[in-house]
Amino acid sequence: MDTLLNRIKSNVTGLYFSFVKFSSTIRFKLAFFYSGILFLFSSGLVLTLNIYIASNMQRDPVPNFVRFVPNSGAPVQLFEDFEKLKFEEKERIRSVRLNDLRSIQKTSLIALIPLALLSFSAGYYVSGRYLDPITKLKKELEKLDSKSIGSKLDSESSDEVGALVESFNDLSVRLQRAFASQEEFVQNAAHELRTPLTIIQTNLDGVIDDNTATPKEIRYAIEQALLGVAQLKSLVNYLLELTTISNTTFEPVSLHQVITEQIVQMRTYAKMNGKDITYVRKAKNTKIMGDKVILGRLVQNLLDNAVKYSVKEANKTIPISVFIDKKGEELQLTVTNQGKPIPVAQRERIFERFVQLEPSRNKKKSGYGLGLSIVKKIVDDLGGRISVTSQDGLNIFTVLFKRARK
């Protein structure tokens, strides 16, 4: 007995939760809402008709009312005058009319039940057809992973549902690109980290395995290991910087002040490498929306790149020019250096992470190919644009910023 009761209780509970789940769907709510509106409208119409019929059938028949005889088509007078009828006859006629009225009212009320069921079924079917793309979208999202991301859904609808599917397709493509970029970034970062780690391990293993190593050799090995540690630290700082740029709060900053401070810091470094930095300011208002530290990194990276990749000539100082001017509603920063022309096909790649053009030419130049990628990241976050051109032996980096409102 207890087993039967438990089974009944379990079935009832299962049905209850199934109904709750079913009634919480958008499809059910839409069908219930529209069928409810149709039911209220139909009920109001039936009620109005019943009131009108009742008001007419509860009154006594008019004088000289007639009836049609079947198969004749001609009206035949039934009574001369209702008021001239006997009392019993009047009551009988009134009773028949009241019974007819109750029958009409009963039939009308009963007809509302199948009407409600039919309207709900029709609403449920129609809403299901319109919500079918959303159902497909849900199933696609459930199957989504890093391998299948990027797949698109087909939608023949041009309404809001179709727009939602198109938005999902665009999001899926963007996510696919983001995952691909992340995977490439991880692979490149792992490759760059492996080199200094190998140097550290090789030097330390050599000292440990060599029992005849002199103090001078041991010191040299440790110095090389420390150099590798410094490279690792520099690389990690670059990677952390890439991840923290987007989390910065921007405010009005004087780009002129940032450039001036960075030139002061970089001038000695530039002179040691046979370069001289000149700065020309033509714009009076140089305020843009940004962060002083982040903008300092942008200018520093551009100047560092110009110093590294400018040509070298014995007993001659190579100029590096920094120029700032307004261009319409924007502020233009230009950094120019003398160097080997950058091929047109490589001018977009130069801003990608871990990209170094002609590595064999740059063996003596330290770096990981992250400096310009950080510049590009900062410019994008500021809503600006950056480009590079080469002409007459000059490489020209141009950055356009949106000026801050006064």
297, part of any domain:
yes
Q: 153-206, pLDDT tens digit by residue?
A: 666 666 776 777 788 788 878 877 777 767 766 766 676 677 678 778 877 887
Q: What CA–CA distance (Å, rounded) separates 210 from 386?
A: 52
Whether 48 and 189 map to the same domain: the answer is: no
Q: 294-351, pLDDT tens digit by residue?
A: 898 899 889 988 998 888 777 788 889 999 998 888 999 999 999 888 888 888 888 8
Whether 179 and 100 map to the same domain: the answer is: no
Whether 329 and 263 map to the same domain: the answer is: yes
- pLDDT of 56 above 80: no
Whether 223 and 293 map to the same domain: the answer is: no
Q: What CA–CA distance (Å, rounded) separates 151 from 134?
A: 16
- pLDDT of 397 above 90: yes
How far is C-alpha 6 from the geometric centre of its chain's CA atoms?
A: 49
Mean pLDDT confidence for 352-379: 68
Q: What CA–CA distance (Å, rounded) separates 353 from 344?
A: 18
> Pick from 243, 260, 295: which residue ends a domain?
243
- Residue 55: phi, psi to the nearest 5? -65, -30
124, part of any domain:
yes
Whether 75 and 169 map to the same domain: the answer is: no
Task: Let me know if 21 is exposed, middle or buried by CB neighbors in 10 A (0-12, 13-18, 19+).
Answer: exposed
pLDDT of residue 360: 39
Please name every residue paired with 235 in a beta bridge, in sequence order, or none if there are none.
Answer: none
Mean pLDDT confidence for 395-402: 93
- Residue 313: phi, psi to the nearest 5? -135, 135
Contact 386, 397 (CB under 8 A): yes
- pLDDT of 403 above 70: yes
pLDDT of residue 195: 65
Closest by CA to 58, choosing from 91, 109, 97, 100, is 97
- pLDDT of 111 above 70: yes
Whether 168 and 135 map to the same domain: the answer is: no
Provide the total of helices (H) and of strands (E) in the chain, helices listed first: 8, 9
Mean pLDDT confidence for 207-214: 80
Q: What CA–CA distance (Å, rounded) separates 280 from 178?
A: 39
**pTM score above 0.85:** no
Whether 318 and 333 map to the same domain: the answer is: yes
The better pLDDT of the pair 366, 150 is held by 150
7, part of any domain:
no
Q: CATH code at 208?
A: 1.10.287.130
Element (H, E) at 399: strand 394-402
136, part of any domain:
yes
- pLDDT of 43 above 60: yes
Whether 205 and 320 map to the same domain: the answer is: no
pLDDT of residue 387: 93
Banded model confidence at residue 245, pLDDT cuts 50, 70, 90: low
pLDDT of residue 66: 47
Mean pLDDT confidence for 208-226: 82
Q: 177-189, pLDDT tens digit by residue?
A: 777 767 766 766 6
> Pick from 217, 243, 269: which residue ends a domain?
243
Whether 377 and 281 map to the same domain: the answer is: yes
255, part of any domain:
yes
- Enter the tokens of residue 47: 């009620």
- pLDDT of 2 above 70: no
Mean pLDDT confidence for 137-147: 71
19, part of any domain:
yes
Contact 295, 259 (CB under 8 A): no
- Residue 391: phi, psi to the nearest 5? -160, 140
Mean pLDDT confidence for 235-257: 76
Task: Give the residue carrying structure tokens 């209702």.
Answer: 82
CA dihedral 73, 76, 81, 82 (to 10 degrees): -60
9, part of any domain:
no
Quote the domain boundaries for residue 195.
Answer: 161-243
Q: What CA–CA distance (Å, rounded) separates 375 from 368?
A: 14
Whether 178 and 62 map to the same domain: the answer is: no
Torsional sign, CA 142, 143, 149, 150:
negative
Closest by CA to 140, choosing from 170, 163, 172, 175, is 172
Whether 258 and 340 map to the same domain: the answer is: yes
- pLDDT of 67 above 60: no
- pLDDT of 96 above 60: yes
Please name every residue paired with 240 in a beta bridge, in sequence order, or none if there are none.
Answer: none
Q: CATH code at 266?
A: 3.30.565.10
What's the length of the chain?
A: 406
> Pick from 209, 243, 277: which residue ends a domain?
243
Domain count, the chain: 3
Mean pLDDT confidence for 250-266: 91
pLDDT of residue 361: 42
pLDDT, the chain, mean? 77
Whether 296 and 208 map to the same domain: the answer is: no
189, part of any domain:
yes
Angle between helices 160-209 and 87-143 (to 10 degrees): 30
pLDDT of residue 39: 77
CA dihedral 95, 99, 104, 105 (to 10 degrees): 100
